[in-house]
Structure 1
C-alpha cells in the first residue's frame, strides 16, 4: 500500500494510504508505534465492496461455501440456513476468543489491526467496508483491544479477542483505562458492528497476527544489526584490535555480500582512529571474536535479511480461506491461512539473534576481564573499592541464556486440532512471540556492550594519550549525553535501561553516519 507514510490531514500526523501496493514493514511500524493514521483509496473501497457483494450472492443462492453456508473446522459438513448466517459469525468470534494469560503489547495489537486492514482490503475475503472502517477508527482513536497472548497456534484466538471489541464485547484499553468493548467504543463515539456472512471468519482467519508481529521483529532486527556494527567497532577499538583482518582482499574471497558489507562498515567506522593505527601490529592476530567480527555479523545479517523477505512477502499476501474471486463469481477453499513460512523465518531469527547476542556478550566479557583486556579490572577506575561493570556482564550472560532457551524451533511442533481436520498446525504464533522476546533481550545485551565499550574507550584514550575514530567519537558523544563515564560505582541498571531505550532509535547509527556517510 504504496508511497510509505505521508503527511496526513491531521497536523503533524503521518498517513498510511492503503491502495494497490503491498503494505511495508515501515508502514506497519509507523501505525503500530508512531500513531500514523490509515486511509483507504477509492480502489481499496471498490475491491472490498465487490467481494462483500459476492458473499451476499452466495448466501442468496445458497451456494455451498465454507464458513458462509457451512459450519467451521470439522463442522464443514453441516449446512447453515440463511437465517442463521449472522448468528454463525457471532458464534465463531465468541467461541474462539480463548487465548489466555497476560495481554500482548499495544504495538503488537496495533500492528495486527493494520495488517488486518491490508489483507482484508485486498478484496478476496468479503469483509464489508463498514467493518474495516471501524478497525481503522480503533487505530485512529487509540482504542486497543485487550488480547491475551498465550494459547494461539498461529491465528484464530488472538484475532477473536479483537473481533469481540468490534461487536461491543470483550475489553479494550482507552485513555489508559481497561474497559468493556462497548464502553471503549462509546467513549470515542463509535458504533459496534453486527457481523454479516463470512465476516467473523475473515476477521479470525489467515496469517494476519503472525505477520504483524513478524513485521515488528524484522524492523527491530534491521536496526539492531547496524547498531551491532557500530558497537562492535567501538569494542574492537577499545580491545586494541588489528585492522589487518578487515583487508578487503580477505572478504572478496568469501562470497557472502553481507560479510563484505559489515567489513566495509567497520573500516569506515575505524577510519582516522589513532588508537587503531597505534595497535595495528599489537598482536600477530586477534582472538576469533575480533578477527572474525565481519564474518560473525555478516552471517547474522544474512539470516535477518532472509527473514525480512518472508515478512515482506507475507505483508503483500492474502491468507484467508475461502478466497473470493469476484471477477469470476467464484470461491476457492484452500490453504493460504497456513503460517509455516512465517514461523520458520521467525525460528531462524531466534537462532540468529541468540548468536549475535552471544558475540556481543563475549566482547563485553573481554572488556571487563583484565587478563585479556589490558584495561583495569571490570573497567573500574579504582578496582577493589569499586566493582565497575562486573555485574552488567552477568546480566548480559543471563539474557543470552534466556534467548538460548527459546531457540528450539516452534515450527517443528504440531498437535492436531478440530477432530483431526486441522493437522498439522503451524505453531507460528509461538515462533513469532519468541522472536519478539528475543529481540527485546538482544537490545539489552547490545546496550550492555555499549555501556562497557564507551567506558573502555574513555579509559584507553586516557592511557595511551591518543584518540579513537571521529565516527565512533560521535557515537560515544551521544551515549555520554545519556550516560556519563563512571569513575565510581552507581546504579548501572538505570544506565542499561537508558541505553536500551536509546537503541530503540536510530540515533547511534545516525551519529556515526554524520562522519562516515550512510553505512550499509
Structure 2
C-alpha cells in the first residue's frame, strides 16, 4: 500500500492511510524532477552571487544582512537551532507524523529549492515511523510554524529527540537504529524546512477528521434520544426542509428519519404533545449548520495540504525567486475558529438533550434515569460533567484569529495565531465527544426503560454497540469509567456505521 506525493493531489484518504495503516510514502517521479529543477535554480543564483532572502541573507528583521558564501551552511543550521524554542506538552505522535507528511508534500511540489536527499530523509522518517518530539506551544502561525517545524527539522540533522518504536531517544541514536544518516543542510534548506503552515494544518486535519466522525455519531445518538423521549417525527418531514433549502439541513432531517424508521417509541404531532423542545425539533437546523461548517473547513484544508507555503518560492521555469507571504496561516486560522464554533455547538445541543433525558420535570422517565431514585442518584451528575465541558468549550471557542502580536522587531507585524486556533479546535473536539458519549449513555438507559425491543432497527444497532461498552445500569457505579470507555470507542473507525458522509 503506497501513497505517492506530488504536492498537488494529497487527500484525506491518503493521510488516513499513512496515519492508521502506515502506508509506504514515496515521491512521484515527476515531482522529483520538479524538486531537482528548483534546486538547480538556487545553486545557479548562488553561483551568480544574487542576493536571495534566506539563502544569503539573514532572516526576519535581518533580511538586509548579507551573508558570505563561506557561511551559508552555518546560516541554515543556526536557523534551525535558534528557532527550536517551542514549549509545552509535545504534540501527539499522530500530529508529528502528519506534520512530516504534509511538509514532505509541500516540498515535493517543487518550489522550495531543497535537495532531493533532504526530502528523501523526511520520507524515510515517515516510513521508519520516526516521529520528532515537537513541543506544541510557541507558533504565531505566520512566517509559518517556525518553532514547531524547527524541532521537526532538528531530527533530520541528528539533533533533538524523536519517538521510535515507542521509545523517546536522541535523534542521532534514532537515525542510527533505523539505518539512516543525518543530513548537513545546504543553502536555503533550513528555511525550506521550517517556513510553512504544517503544524497548524496537521492539527487542523486531525481535528477535522475527528469532528467529522463525531458529527455522524451525534446524529445517530440524537435519533436514539428522540426515541428515548418519545419525540415527534413530524418536524423531520421533508416538506418543511424543502422550503428552507439548505442541503445539509435536508440531509440531516432525512438521516434522522431513516434512523428512527420502524420505531414504536416515536410519536406524531398531537399524539402526546404538539411540539418538542428545540434541542429535539431543531436537530436538522442546528446539525445541518454544523455540517456547513465542516464543509467549509474541509475545503480550506484540502487547499492548504497541497500548497507551497514557504518563502521565498523558487519558480524553475522562469527562474524567478519571489519573497511573498504564503506562510501566513490566516485561511486556516479562520477555518479552525469556525470549526471550534461548529463543534462546540454539537456539545451545546447534546447537553440540552442530556438534561431532557435526566430531568424528571421534563420527561416521564424515572428521575435521573435512576433504578432507585433518591437512594441512588443515577445519571444526575453526568449532566453536570456535560455542562462543565460545554462551558469550557465556550472559552476555548473564543476566536484566536482576531488576535495578532507583532514579531521580529515589527518586520512581521501581523500574524494569524492559527496554531493556537487549531490546538483549541482539537481540544473542543475531545470535549464534545465526551458530551456525546454522555448523551449516548443516557439515551441507551432511557431506551432500556422504555423497552429497547421497541427501538427502530438502526437505533437497535447503536444501542447494542453502546451496551457492548457500557453495560445496563442497574445501580449506581463509577460512571467516569463508562464515559471514558465510550469516549474511546467513539474514536474508533468501526463506530462509523454510515456508508455516505455528509461532509
TM-score normalised by length of structure 1? 0.93
2:362 is paired with a residue whose SS is helix
Establish whether residue 116 from structure 1 lines up as the match of residue 106 from structure 2: no
Give the alignment partner of residue 447 of structure 1, picking from 437, 440, 445. 437
1:99 and 2:86 equivalent? Answer: yes
Are 1:24 and 2:11 an aligned pair?
yes
Matched, 1:141 2:128: yes
Is 1:42 aligned to 2:29, yes or no? yes
Does the alignment pair 1:316 with 2:306?
yes
Q: Distance in 2 between matches of 1:317 and 1:292?
A: 38
Q: Which deviations, in whole Å up to 9, do the C-alpha atoms of 1:127-165 show, x marking residues without a partner? A: 112111111121221211111111211210000001111
Q: How many residues end up aligned between the 2 structures?
A: 499
Contact 1:51 1:124 in 2 (8 A): yes
The answer as to whether partners of 1:28 and 1:216 remain within 8 angstroms in 2 is no
Once the two structures are TM-superposed, the CA of residue 32 in structure 1 deviates from its matched residue by: 2.9
Q: Equivalent of 2:291, from 298, 301, 306? A: 301
- TM-score normalised over the length of structure 2: 0.96
SS in structure 1 opposite 2:3?
strand
Q: CA deviation at 1:433?
A: 0.6
Structure 1 stretches of 4+ moved >6 Å: none
**Partner deviation per Cα, 1:411-431 (whole Å, 9 max, x = no partner):** 111111011110101111100
Structure 1 distance, partners of 2:7, 2:418, is 27
Q: Which residue number in structure 2 is paired with residue 402 of structure 1?
A: 392
Q: Separation in 2 of the partners of 1:20 and 1:144?
A: 21
Alpha-carbon deviation of 1:173?
Answer: 1.5
Structure 2: give runs of 5+ residues left out of the alignment.
none
Please list the CA deviations of residues 100-120 of structure 1 after superposition, one character each: whole Å capped at 9, or x if unmatched. Answer: 111111111111110001111
Does the CA contact (< 8 Å) of 1:240 and 1:276 recur in 2? yes
Structure 1 residue aligned with 2:450: 460
Partner Cα separation in structure 1 for residue 131 and residue 270 of structure 2: 55
Q: Deviation per CA, 1:281-310, whole angstroms, max 9, x where unpaired?
A: 211111111111111111111111111111
**Which one of 159, 176, 179 corresponds to residue 186 of structure 1?**
176
Specify the alignment match of 2:426 in structure 1. 436
- Point out where structure 1 has 5 or more consecutive residues left out of the alignment: 1-7, 9-14
Deviations 1:428-482 (A, max 9, x none): 11001111111111111111111111111111117xxx60100110111122122
Q: Report if aligned partners of 1:32, 1:108 keep a CA contact under 8 Å in 2.
A: no
Q: In terms of mean alpha carbon deviation, does 501-510 or 345-354 score higher?
A: 501-510
Q: CA RMSD in A?
A: 1.5
- Tell me how far apart the structure 2 counterparts of residues 443 and 250 of structure 1 sit (CA, whole Å): 30
Q: 2:170 and 2:495 mapped to 1: Cα distance?
A: 42
The equivalent position to 2:407 in structure 1, one of 395, 403, 417, is: 417
> Hey, what does 1:472 align to over in structure 2?
459
Q: Are 1:300 and 1:356, in contact at CA under 8 Å, matched by a contact in 2?
A: yes
Alignment partner of 1:253 is 2:253: no
What SS is found at the alignment partner of 1:276?
coil
CA deviations 1:208-232 (Å, max 9, x no partner) are: 2211211111211211111111011
Residues 112 and 310 in structure 2, CA contact (< 8 A), matched pair in contact too: yes
